[in-house]
Structure 1
Amino acid sequence: MAWLDCIFSDISISGCIIFKIKIFMRKSLLRKIKDAKKAPVLVLGMGPTALAVIRDLGRRGIPVIGVDSYWWMIGFYSKYCNKLALLDPEKNENELFKVLLDYGEALERKSVLFAIDDNFIAFLSKYAHRLRSYYRFPLTAEDYERKFLNKRNFYQLCKQRGISFPITYFPNSLEEVKDISQKVPFPCIIKPVYSHIWAKRFKVTKAIKINSPKELLHTYKKISLSLSNTELMIQEVIGGGDDRIYLCAIYLDSSGEPLSVFTGRTIRQYPPDFGTKCLAEGFKDNYIAKLSIEILRKIGFCGICGVEFKKDPKDGQLKIMEVNPRVVRWYGLTEACGVPVIYTAYKDLIGEKQPKWKSSKWVQKHKKWISFWRDIASSLLYICRDQLSFRDWIGSLKGRKELMFGLDDISLFLYFPFYVTFKTITSLIERLKYKIFVES
């Protein structure tokens, strides 16, 4: 049995070496952060959405530190990002909290904290009151999960405040679904009350489109069995294409005053209808800006967020689709259009007084933002549906564009092909799983 002792001894030694390397790297990171002139930023979530924060602040010489659950997340490969830890906010909740406390205590000044992913938003909502001693983030962060991640609470709040939104039902049983199937207009969609929980099971779509009462009952049964104890919602589909979706990126200070506002429009999503933006454009729209500010004040929000509306062809009204209490994927467009929403949020959180936003002094360039590989996939689907011609696709790409990654970030540029290949393969696998589920 001596060889077993030898193996376990080697494992112990190698484990000790790895542990010491991690300690050394963290100490080296702390020295680097302490020597920096500007207050550091901690970003929870290193997916593509994080790139807007990493680049906007990193290019200004602000130290950016990242945390995520997976080593392959693209944000880690930016030259502007320093990795702090690989921890899942659910599986490693206590360990993540301890790491953030230890990191916060080790620094001589508070870091600004941006939670990018919904799982990290839920984590921050839970621990906000205990982390506030070491980090700077909006005062209403404790309410983010209750008010915004929980769609039932969000739409109830909209109803109480007189905010227009799509017809929505929250069934508690199959009997209630049968009743709803006689009232809801078709097509409709089934989606979760908590999107980030749904995403763990159905990674390729945010909602399932339903065309008949029979299909609604059948799909509800299947999802209930597949995702036990998951609250579901049934919502009407607002007609028209993805180009009827309007966007507002905004930062409101602790008193609810807007300090930076950006408006834009979706051109395409991937997947179409119920996906995330892959081609969008920025343009000034005072009505959308003022409507967003009014809604956020009504629901008591302060901080950085992305608001989405869809224009209903039936009555011409803008219906609110969601408020994301965080930076969203298309935020890279804001800086490109000359509206530094993220940097304004950073400066306000570190205590630098910022001028209030005024529509009369609002300056915003017209520019497009694109995620090329996702837009190609999306465009092929639109073309197959006869909703887009090749000529129109080429035409939609004209104009000044902001890429999802910057050419000044060479390490990210080199990693990008591997990331796209990996995501494409995993996406195809997930689509196959989803197709099997839908057709079963």
Structure 2
Amino acid sequence: MKPEPRPGQMPQGNVTGVVILGGAHGTLALARSLGAKDVPVWLVSTDTPLPGWSRRIRHKFDWPGPDDPNAISFLLDLAQKHGLAGALLIPGGDGEVRLVSQSIEALSPAFKIMLPSWDQLKFVCEKPLLYRRATELSVDIPPTYRFTSTEEAARAAIRFPVVLKPNMGGGGSELARAKVIRADDLASFDPVFQRAADEIGLDNVVVQELIPGGGEGQFSYSALWHDGKPVAEFTARRARQYPVDFGYTSTFVEVVDRPDAVDAARRLLTSIRHEGLVEIEFKRDARDGALRLLDVNPRPWSWFGLASAAGIDLGAMIWEIANGRDPGRQKTPRPGTAWMYLVRDMVSAVILISRGKLGVGDYLRSFGAVRAWATFSASDPLPGLLDIPVTAWRVLTRRILRLPARGSAGLAARNHPER
């Protein structure tokens, strides 16, 4: 008899396919990567319909979302009713990551899972724990404030400007929708901090000193880990983003060599014995040259498609590992290879050009490096064709009219996968 796997460890045996929970552009790229290998892919989502339009998705299931009290029962019933037992379960959004990681023991009879249990993963997902762990490991972070009351925050000697962020991604609150809110002085900080504390709780509001600069100084470490070690990894620069000052989604990303990001990421992920996909965001502080840790995303990220374009097919590799096979040696990523989210990058470019931070010629030349697009694919055209009206609708309803997302209830009810 084979021994039972410990939490976070995959049981042995062939995988029947892949079930992806939530996500947007990263989920779409992962589905395309797996589908190119004839891997059956099913999508379970309560958010954007974008990945479900891909011909690589066998079937899309709607569900009540990761914050629903019956979410685990729903997934177990889904596996039983639709013959999905034995599939690899990959969370595509922040709320889904927490749900799966916290419920590995309950889900393992039906699914295979490549993710650490929550008692490990929380140290990189919950920002106060993340920054504490980073400090212990001598990984630089932005100066961060902790307050025990709103009154204490109003009296504190804060070095402005600062940004306010939720403890973990997801949710329908003002702060969760914006992802980052800037405050340049106490007069603008007090009302925003008070509203955020009332909506999601004081302990869930992170206040950090703003690192100057835009996407040109923002770098990412992206990888697949197995048994607490990297299987494949590379670094990239988030050259443009939307909004341009601190974007909630990347718009132009290119492969670069950042050994300091690799070193910091390895220290952090080794400390939790990471398993699965991960993207870690850093920003270079031009004032002292330090590379400061911002966020960790243990799921497919928006520009996930850049990996295969650069010669590192993370989707194919995770499939091989899930089936107990050798994924092969990592190829050297092709420097300068780029990914673009065309619709939003055009907006970002116009703003940067108007500010004198980007030349028209430089913008046009950047198209020559693009080898992967957020939605467009000649072999899978429908998501690219429908992305423009869907993006316009989401901006109107969620950014302008401020309507709540369907199924949102609390901080973790809705994921924000577009990073």
Q: Give the letter aligned to residue 123 of structure 1.
A: L
Structure ranking higher on relative contact order (CA contacts 8 Å, 6+ apart) = 2
1:373 aligns with 2:350: no
Q: Is the contact made by 1:368 and 1:402 (CA closer than 8 Å) also made in structure 2?
A: yes
Per the TM alignment, residue 390 of structure 1 is displaced from its structure 2 partner at its CA by 3.2
The whole-number CA distance in structure 1 between the counterparts of 2:84 and 2:23 is 25
Q: Is the contact made by 2:94 and 2:168 (CA closer than 8 Å) also made in structure 1?
A: no
1:88 aligns with 2:58: no
The whole-number CA distance in structure 2 between the counterparts of 1:49 and 1:173 is 37
Per the TM alignment, residue 213 of structure 1 is displaced from its structure 2 partner at its CA by 2.7
- Equivalent position to 2:110, from 113, 121, 134: 134
The whole-number CA distance in structure 1 between the counterparts of 2:245 and 2:336 is 24
How big is each residue's C-alpha offset from its partner over 1:320-358, in whole Å with a ceiling of 9 and x where there is no partner?
Answer: 11111111101110111001123212211221133566x
Aligned to 2:191: 218
Per the TM alignment, residue 130 of structure 1 is displaced from its structure 2 partner at its CA by 0.9
Q: Give the letter aligned to residue 59 of structure 1.
A: A
Q: Is the contact made by 1:266 and 1:280 (CA closer than 8 Å) also made in structure 2?
A: yes
The whole-number CA distance in structure 1 between the counterparts of 2:107 and 2:402 is 39
> Against the structure 1 CA distance between its residues 88 and 99, is the aligned structure 2 distance closer, same or farther, given a 3 Å change threshold?
closer
The whole-number CA distance in structure 1 between the counterparts of 2:387 and 2:190 is 42
Per the TM alignment, residue 430 of structure 1 is displaced from its structure 2 partner at its CA by 4.4
The whole-number CA distance in structure 1 between the counterparts of 2:401 and 2:338 is 29
1:186 aligns with 2:160: yes
Q: Structure 1 residues 407-416 or 208-217, which shifts more?
A: 407-416
The whole-number CA distance in structure 1 between the counterparts of 2:341 and 2:62 is 26
Q: Give the letter aligned to residue 189 of structure 1.
A: V
Alignment of 1:33-432 (within 5 A): 39-70=16-47, 73-90=49-66, 92-94=68-70, 96-105=71-80, 107=83, 110-143=86-119, 146-180=122-156, 182=157, 184-197=158-171, 199-202=172-175, 205-227=178-200, 231-254=204-227, 256-275=228-247, 276-355=249-328, 362-405=332-375, 406-430=377-401
Q: Give the letter aligned to residue 318 of structure 1.
A: L
Coordinate RMSD, CA, aligned: 2.6
Per the TM alignment, residue 90 of structure 1 is displaced from its structure 2 partner at its CA by 4.3
Q: Is the contact made by 1:38 and 1:61 (CA closer than 8 Å) also made in structure 2?
A: no
Per the TM alignment, residue 239 of structure 1 is displaced from its structure 2 partner at its CA by 1.9
How big is each residue's C-alpha offset from its partner over 1:287-340, in whole Å with a ceiling of 9 and x where there is no partner?
Answer: 433332222113432221001111111221111111111111011101110011
Q: Is the contact made by 2:310 and 2:334 (CA closer than 8 Å) also made in structure 1?
A: yes
The whole-number CA distance in structure 1 between the counterparts of 2:278 and 2:265 is 10
Q: Is the contact made by 1:41 and 1:62 (CA closer than 8 Å) also made in structure 2?
A: yes
Per the TM alignment, residue 220 of structure 1 is displaced from its structure 2 partner at its CA by 1.6
TM normalised by structure 1 equals 0.80
- Which runs of 5 or more structure 1 residues have no equivalent in the other structure? 1-36, 434-440
Identity percentage of aligned residues: 23
Residues paired across the two proteins, number: 388
The whole-number CA distance in structure 2 between the counterparts of 1:339 and 1:102 is 35
Aligned to 2:369, the other structure's residue is in SS state: coil
The whole-number CA distance in structure 2 between the counterparts of 1:270 and 1:215 is 22
Per the TM alignment, residue 273 of structure 1 is displaced from its structure 2 partner at its CA by 2.2
- Structure having the higher Rg: 1
Aligned to 1:159, the other structure's residue is in SS state: helix
Q: Give the letter aligned to residue 190 of structure 2.
A: L
How big is each residue's C-alpha offset from its partner over 1:249-299, in whole Å with a ceiling of 9 and x where there is no partner?
Answer: 111112x12111121111111111221211111134444333322221134
Aligned to 1:239, the other structure's residue is in SS state: coil
Aligned to 1:316, the other structure's residue is in SS state: coil
Q: Is the contact made by 2:235 and 2:261 (CA closer than 8 Å) also made in structure 1?
A: yes
Aligned to 1:262, the other structure's residue is in SS state: strand
How big is each residue's C-alpha offset from its partner over 1:99-141, in whole Å with a ceiling of 9 and x where there is no partner?
Answer: 3213434648611111011111122123211111221222514
Aligned to 2:8: none
Aligned to 1:397, the other structure's residue is in SS state: helix
Q: Is the contact made by 1:171 and 1:232 (CA closer than 8 Å) also made in structure 2?
A: no
Per the TM alignment, residue 432 of structure 1 is displaced from its structure 2 partner at its CA by 10
> Against the structure 1 CA distance between its residues 354 and 59, is the aligned structure 2 distance closer, same or farther, given a 3 Å change threshold?
closer
> Against the structure 1 CA distance between its residues 117 and 54, is the aligned structure 2 distance closer, same or farther, given a 3 Å change threshold?
same
Aligned to 1:165, the other structure's residue is in SS state: coil
